[in-house]
A and B are shown apart, each in its own frame.
Chain A
């Protein structure tokens, strides 16, 4: 008999989390729990509340108010009442409360709840900052900073704009929050962010950095969710019998894992991932119930990614092997000392009066001793395409790679902002590289990957 649940007239699944008050009134009316006169009474009370709040908003100095401001205050009032109604045991009870209790009273109760939520959100924000990862991802850091989420607590106005989220949140969670707004949204976001941080704290920050580098070396500028990457690799490690805590799975192991997983159907694959998840929770000794639930909620998304990757033979892109950028060879390019300005001016004048290309090339070979001067003369000497190609032909692979690094081969759209000479140089550079053998091209691009900034 313990399993008997009370039957509810209103299905809570039909209620909107964002516009709770309006949806509960609509559902109550649809199921006959509220009649026309109840609705009329609620509307009039809402109007009276709006009138009082508008007066406060204007500080008693103005009897009229802009419609946008009034609408915002009305939304804020309804949101605040909605927060109170949500706190009640169930939707049916909330509807009966709507009939019994006056709107201003419910508003006051909702307002008190919002104050409590703001206080609680501040506390969770502090905790989320305390267990933050040391990571280079820009959106993660910018969102957690005082100039990110911290701004919310300075700008949030629970009296007149309780339904607003006056802050831009760029870092996306693994489980996005879609049906909440105002302080409820921020509260839930911070809770989830804290849980994601907590899970990641079971791993070394450097190991997380390496798997993110394995995903993309430029991950610091990407809009990625760190928790999702970490959990995916952890699952991969568990499925491939690698050390989960080190997040270390080699490319070979990923290939073997693919061979194993590709034999399974979707259901068995999902089952295996679930089992692997259980083992991870045990191995990491994760006892927090809320964290376990959060991970379980994230599993369907990650499972679907892995299933899709297995189907398309791209498991290596979903479960990535770590890559340590510090271990990669680096090339620092030193361009040598440029000739002084006077000499350079004379040299260019001499070059400009040369009639034949062969003379120009001979002069360049004779006078130019540094890469910086070569780069300058490509812009200043008004050389033709053939002459530029000949000059490029004089350069080695490292110099060509450095030239590409300094003048990247961008698309036509990106090139719009460049000067004409710069556009021409890039165009000639592209056609020069295209005419090289594939091996030499690969070699140049390999060098380009290892070149570091000056």
Chain B
């Protein structure tokens, strides 16, 4: 008989999470974005894997719902890349949750991701993960603010343009 968390939590949490994701469709249809039940199950699986590989655990619906609500009005999202982008964003979110030493709340991190995704990254997930989030996490760890990063990133870009 074990009272270890991983052994008692996963099944219950997953069922609850799939139901919550399906509910999100009510809100996202206005942006012509919907998730099938299969998409929802796969997203929850991605979340489970991301949590496991980043050594974290989550109770309830989790952040996918928050990500959906924040990103659904992005001009870079359409039905053909919606589910795929959500998989990547979910993965990224948990990775950078650890990388920022949990100094940033869920809401702030998601807002930062959205702002960068729509802004500097212009819909590129590679730039978002490899540059914007990486710089932001590094600056937070060194005691700077995320804004400091933005200034630095712009400066670097200007320098690049000169060459």
Q: Which A residues have a C-beta under 8 Å from some C-beta of B?
A: 21-22, 25-26, 29, 39, 43-44, 46-47, 50-51, 54-55, 61-68, 70-71, 74, 78
Contact = CB atoms under 8 A, between A and B. Distances in A.
A29 B1 CA distance: 9
A47 B94 contact: no
Interface string B58-96: 111111001000000000000000000000000000100
A61 B106 CA distance: 6
Interface stretch (B3-11, B21-29, B36-44, B123-131): B3-11
A63 B57 contact: no
23 contacts: A22-B3, A25-B3, A26-B1, A29-B1, A39-B1, A50-B59, A51-B60, A61-B106, A62-B106, A63-B59, A63-B60, A64-B56, A64-B63, A64-B97, A64-B106, A65-B56, A65-B57, A66-B56, A67-B5, A67-B57, A71-B5, A74-B3, A78-B3
Q: Which 4 A-B pairs have the closest CB atoms?
A: A61-B105, A51-B59, A64-B58, A64-B56
Interface size classification for chain B: 20 to 34
Contacts of B5: 47, 50, 67, 70-71, 74
A67 B56 contact: yes
Contacts of B12: 44, 47
Nearest to A65: B57
B134 interface: no
B147 interface: no
Nearest to A29: B1
A65 B56 CA distance: 5
Highest count of chain B CB atoms <10 Å: which of A29, A54, A70 = A70
B3 A46 contact: yes
B97 A62 contact: yes
Nearest to A26: B1
A68 B6 CA distance: 11
B121 interface: no
A contact face: mostly helix, strand, loop, or mixed? helix
A68 B57 CA distance: 9
A65 B105 CA distance: 12
Nearest to B56: A64
A114 B51 CA distance: 33
B55 interface: yes
Most buried by B among A25, A39, A43: A43
Given A64-B57, A67-B57, A47 B6 contact: no
Contacts, number: 70
Interface of B: 1, 3-6, 8-9, 12, 51, 55-63, 66, 94, 97-98, 102, 105-107
A70 B8 contact: no
A50 B61 CA distance: 15
A44 B9 CA distance: 8
B116 to A, nearest CB: 20
A62 B102 contact: yes
Nearest to B65: A63
Contact of B8 (A25, A46, A65, A67): A46
Most buried by B among A54, A63, A66, A74: A63
A25 B59 contact: no
Contacts of B63: 63-64
A22 B9 CA distance: 17
Contacts of B97: 62, 64
A50 B6 CA distance: 12
A64 B51 contact: yes
Contacts of A62: 97, 102, 105-106
Given A50-B59, A64-B106, 19 more contacts: A43-B3, A44-B12, A46-B3, A46-B8, A47-B8, A61-B107, A63-B59, A63-B60, A63-B106, A64-B56, A64-B62, A65-B56, A65-B58, A66-B57, A67-B6, A67-B57, A70-B5, A74-B3, A74-B5
Contacts of B98: 66
A54 B102 CA distance: 14
Interface centre among B9, B59, B105 (most CB of A within 10 A): B59
A67 B50 CA distance: 13
Contacts of A71: 4-5
A71 B4 CA distance: 7
Nearest to B6: A67
Nearest to B7: A43
A39 B7 CA distance: 13
A61 B1 CA distance: 33
Contacts of B1: 22, 25-26, 29, 39
B110 to A, nearest CB: 11
B13 to A, nearest CB: 9
Contacts of B55: 66-68
A74 B9 CA distance: 12
Contacts of B59: 47, 50-51, 54-55, 63
A41 to B, nearest CB: 12
